[in-house]
Amino acid sequence: MRSNRPSLTALRISRSLIFLAQDPAFEPLLPPDAAESTARLMIAAGKLKPGHLRLFRKPWLRRWANWMERHQAPGQYLHVGLRKRFLDDETRDALAAGATQVLVVGAGFDTLAQRCAAEFPEVTFVEVDHPGTHAVKRAGIEALGAEYPNLHLLGVDLAATPLEEALVTVPGWRRDAVSAVVAEGVLMYFEPAAVSTFLETMRDCGAAGSRLLFTYLRRDPTGRLALGKGSSFLEFWLKLMGEPVHWGVRAGELPEFLEGHGWRLSPPPERYDLRRRYLEPAGLGAQPLGAIEFVAVAESLAS
């Protein structure tokens, strides 16, 4: 049962991004101002102290953290940063292609919508997150004075309130407008039936040609969720923390699954190769890169 507290996963992901940004080799790969704005937000929300930033730069701490990562989930810090870059780039691409509204589901302490709302005042941005995380994030945004008239933050428990009901309350949200929907690290926490409902709801809450930018887990050949080294322990830990994972697809099954719910996976396959897209052009192609969570972009076929 999820308690009314901020998501532990959301806190961990944001701290991982900030930690990664302290490495001069990797900081240029991140979305501009993403790590810095996340740090400011978390400090304002009381979930990070300024001293943590100095600590994150300490060589002894970085050696220890990197040793732990190599033995548990090699390349996960880097994967977090690159998937943030991927979603930032793809959101901006959707806006350039004509999207006039952006929905971020389960944003945690990510600042994509906040940063883009300032840059694109003519676009409607909406964040929907669990009330426990939402309350802390809203307090941080208010403390920073980073509120914008085109940025709407909704605290909604999607297990109890349908997403379409939440969107009805948002001024300016239109079902006939081309949308971009971002769901980073979200769908794996839904039961399979809820994922199907989510896809159909998002298809119907925007015009044809809307885009869904998301991350997902894969299942191994036996049908178990593939969570890397220590899968059983990680699955148990997430359940203990009240954030169990449920949904994933086997390799090759995603296109058919999406098409069954009114979406088409956007080509080409190279688009989703984070190593080829970001690391190799930066001369970092040999770096370990996490392979637990995958990225995808789908386009709606009908509304």
> One-letter amino acid identity for 33?
D
Domain ranges of the chain: 8-300
pLDDT at 1: 39
Other residues' Cβ atoms within 10 Å of the Cβ of residue 280: 14
Q: CA-CA distances (angstroms) from residue 185 to 63, 188, 268, 282?
A: 27, 7, 22, 26
- Assess contact for 101 and 172: CB atoms under 8 A: yes
Q: Measured between alpha carbons, how far is 209 from 177 in angstroms, rounded to an integer?
A: 9
**Which residue is associated with the tokens 């943030």?**
84
Whether 201 has a pLDDT exceeding 90, the answer reads yes
Whether 241 has a pLDDT exceeding 90, the answer reads no
Reported pTM:
0.94
The CATH superfamily of 8-300 is Vaccinia Virus protein VP39 (3.40.50.150)
Q: Measured between alpha carbons, how far is 106 from 275 in angstroms, rounded to an integer?
A: 26
Q: Which residue has the higher pLDDT, 238 or 36?
A: 36
Q: What is the mean pLDDT of residues 224-253?
A: 79
If pLDDT is split at 50, 70 and 90, which confidence band does 232 have?
low
Whether 86 has a pLDDT exceeding 50, the answer reads yes
Strand 293-300 with 211-219, pairing: antiparallel
- Assess contact for 105 and 179: CB atoms under 8 A: no
pLDDT at 68: 85
Query: pLDDT tens-digit profile of 178-188?
Result: 999 999 999 99
Query: pLDDT tens-digit profile of 153-176?
Result: 999 998 888 899 999 999 889 999
Mean of pLDDT over the chain: 92
Whether 25 has a pLDDT exceeding 70, the answer reads yes
pLDDT at 167: 94
pLDDT at 234: 66
Q: What is the mean pLDDT of residues 198-215?
A: 96
Q: What percent of the chain has pLDDT over 90?
A: 81
Q: Measured between alpha carbons, how far is 180 from 186 in angstroms, rounded to an integer?
A: 15
